């Protein structure tokens, strides 16, 4: 999602996907025009959460000594779209240079029909803005239902950056709903291509394995008073994902992650494994947001 330090910062696109950068079925790539399961959508809980990020392992030759910080995440449905907000505050410590503080804001607006996806992000290094992204991904409405639905992602910042979106490419929240649908159907293996607008690299392929049910409550610190545990004491699964950028074909995944994913759309635990280090993203605060008054989604 340059220099070694900038590459490390970019990698944290993986950590912002608390709405689960999930996947469509291996045997049947979902189309944006395909209707989403209303029952699954209704089960998703609007919420805001705070995660603590820690580095838990690194290769002996890595120049990174430590990574620590927090991520704030908010997800809510509005009358026509899902809205998300991610905010990172991270400290990087290196063997041969001064510590570096990275802050970022990333917001998205994704229509329920999967046709439109607005995204915006700003990243700062030690208080100085070094990257700003903004744009829209769209699948035009086909004149006939039989027509192939292809689209494109057009960036206004940086100007002139465009990616073609083939039929079957999904935006993040449609992805989330699809993985829940297929998990409920008892399917295990998934493959999909997604576009999330978090960087300048374009769509990403994801291979996924959906595991068994897990007890998420057993993983939490029971002394934490800032947690609405009624949202965590819910059915959850272990999910494993591997990410492959389309722009840089490679036999190996760029990174992989294990997440504890709940049927209500919440992620309560995450381990992200990069090629030279691994980090955890632990839930430390969670609050349910009020439902909106839109009844027809």
What pLDDT does 143 receive? Answer: 47
Quote the CA–CA distance of 80 and 74 in Å, as a whole number.
Answer: 17
What pLDDT does 8 receive? Answer: 36
pLDDT > 60? residue 196: yes
pLDDT > 70? residue 148: no
pLDDT bucket at 14, cuts 50 / 70 / 90: very low
pLDDT bucket at 22, cuts 50 / 70 / 90: very low
pLDDT in tens, 152-185: 999 999 999 999 999 889 899 888 888 888 888 8
What pLDDT does 54 receive? Answer: 96
Residues with Cβ < 8 Å from 233, sequence gap 6 or more? Answer: 216, 217
* Average pLDDT, integer, range 277-286: 94
pLDDT > 80? residue 25: no
What pLDDT does 168 receive? Answer: 86
């Amino acid at each position: 999602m340059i220099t070694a330090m900038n590459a490390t910062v970019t990698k944290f696109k993986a950590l912002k996907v608390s709405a689960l950068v999930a996947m469509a079925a291996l045997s049947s790539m979902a189309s944006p025009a395909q209707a989403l399961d209303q029952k699954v959508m209704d089960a998703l809980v609007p919420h805001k959460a705070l995660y603590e990020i820690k580095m838990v392992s690194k290769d002996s030759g890595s120049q990174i000594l430590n990574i620590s910080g927090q991520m704030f995440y908010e997800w809510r449905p509005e009358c026509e779209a899902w809205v998300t907000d991610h905010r990172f505050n991270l400290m990087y410590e290196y063997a041969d240079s001064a510590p570096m503080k990275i802050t970022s804001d990333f917001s998205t607006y994704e229509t329920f029909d999967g046709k439109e996806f607005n995204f915006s992000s700003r990243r700062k290094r030690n208080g100085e803005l070094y990257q700003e992204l903004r744009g829209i991904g769209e699948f035009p409405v086909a004149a006939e239902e039989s027509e192939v639905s292809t689209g494109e992602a057009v960036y206004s910042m940086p100007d002139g950056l465009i990616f073609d979106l083939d039929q079957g490419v999904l935006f993040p929240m449609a992805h989330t709903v699809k993985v829940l649908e297929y998990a409920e159907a008892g399917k295990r293996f998934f493959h999909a291509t997604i576009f999330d607008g978090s960087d300048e690299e374009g769509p990403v392929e994801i291979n996924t394995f959906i595991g068994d049910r897990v007890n998420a409550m057993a993983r939490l610190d029971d002394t934490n008073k800032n947690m609405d545990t009624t949202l965590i004491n819910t059915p959850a699964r272990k999910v494993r994902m591997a990410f492959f950028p389309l722009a840089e074909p490679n036999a190996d995944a760029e990174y992989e992650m294990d997440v504890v994913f709940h049927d209500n759309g919440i992620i309560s635990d995450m381990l992200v494994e990069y090629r030279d280090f691994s980090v955890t993203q632990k839930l430390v605060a969670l609050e349910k947001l009020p439902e909106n008054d839109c009844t027809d989604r």
